[in-house]
Chain A
Amino acid sequence: QITLTESGPTLVKPTQTLTLTCTFSGFSLSTYGVAVGWIRQPPGKALEWLALIYWDGDKRYSPSLKSRLTITKDTSKNQVVLTMTNVDPVDTATYFCAHRTSKSSGFGNWGQGTLVTVSS
């Protein structure tokens, strides 16, 4: 059974750095084709893809947020970490991590999401 769980602060101040951790089980991020992504959803709004890290360590970022995002993985701990610098109230959202088995598979497994509020 595959599970993913997001963790991190629920409240951050503007200009601070947000660090979110996705802890997973039931799969290995060393397996060919596997990737973990971060997707966010502002309250009442649509899903937005943020970043992706592949089994081989390659990384991809949303062009609009690329300068502020860093995604890393710790295979031994079964964790993926997303860092977002210089947060703003518009970054208030539920942040999800999700797993895919291949480029064609879609995100078949999601965490429950964690709501992050950016406010002073």
Chain B
Amino acid sequence: QSALTQPASVSGSPGQSITISCTGTSSDVGNYNLVSWYQQHPGKAPKLMIYEVTKRPSGVSIRFSGSKSGNTASLTISGLQAEDEADYYCCSYAGNSVPYVFGTGTKVTVL
């Protein structure tokens, strides 16, 4: 099972919107609506931001939204804020034998 592919970095100015892609295969992202996204600040544990492609856990800002088309999932951050500067990882269910595969990670920089 190979890691899902994400861009190494994405940047934007405060107030702008950015989108992070997460490309997998028909065996993982394309086959299940079970993509989650995690935010990780330096030295901290990851935080769940999106699950089941589009759902936000309680307490997560509505500025974070998820979507999926074919084998590619996406995370959009609207109204970018300085506190959004972090690493972001996607994760997909990949079947009963290998339930999880993470993405390569994307560093978001707020200019």
Proximity bits, A32-68, B CB within 8 Å = 1, else 0: 0000010100000111110010000000101100000
Proximity bits, A88-120, B CB within 8 Å = 1, else 0: 000000001010000111111011110000000
**Interface majority SS (helix, strand, loop, mixed), chain B:** loop
Q: Which residues of A contact B97 (CB under 8 A)?
A: 60
Selected interface stretch from B18-26, B45-53, B75-83: B45-53
Which residues of chain B from 23 to 47 have any CB-CB distance to chain A below 8 Å in the complex?
Answer: 34, 36, 38, 40, 45-47
B interface residues, tally (CB under 8 Å): 27
Pick from A48, A60, A111: contact of B45, CB below 8 A.
A111
**Interface majority SS (helix, strand, loop, mixed), chain A:** loop
Q: Take A47-B89, A52-B100, A108-B57 as given contacts and tell me if A96 and B51 are in contact as well, using a CB distance cutoff of 8 Å.
A: no
Q: Which residues of B contact A113 (CB under 8 A)?
A: 45
* CA gap between A45 and B73 in the complex, in Å: 21
B94 to chain A, nearest CB (A): 9
Q: Which residues of B contact A39 (CB under 8 A)?
A: 46, 102
Decide: B89 and A104 in contact? CB cutoff 8 A: no
A interface residues, tally (CB under 8 Å): 23
Check if B101 is an interface residue, CB within 8 A of chain A: yes
Decide: A110 and B46 in contact? CB cutoff 8 A: yes
Q: Take A46-B105, A47-B105, A113-B45 as given contacts and tell me if A37 and B51 are in contact as well, using a CB distance cutoff of 8 Å.
A: no
Q: Which residues of B contact A112 (CB under 8 A)?
A: 45
Besides the known contacts A47-B102, A62-B98, A98-B46, 15 further A-B residue pairs in the complex with CB atoms under 8 A apart? A46-B89, A46-B103, A47-B91, A49-B91, A60-B96, A60-B99, A96-B46, A103-B99, A104-B51, A105-B51, A106-B36, A106-B38, A106-B48, A110-B46, A113-B45
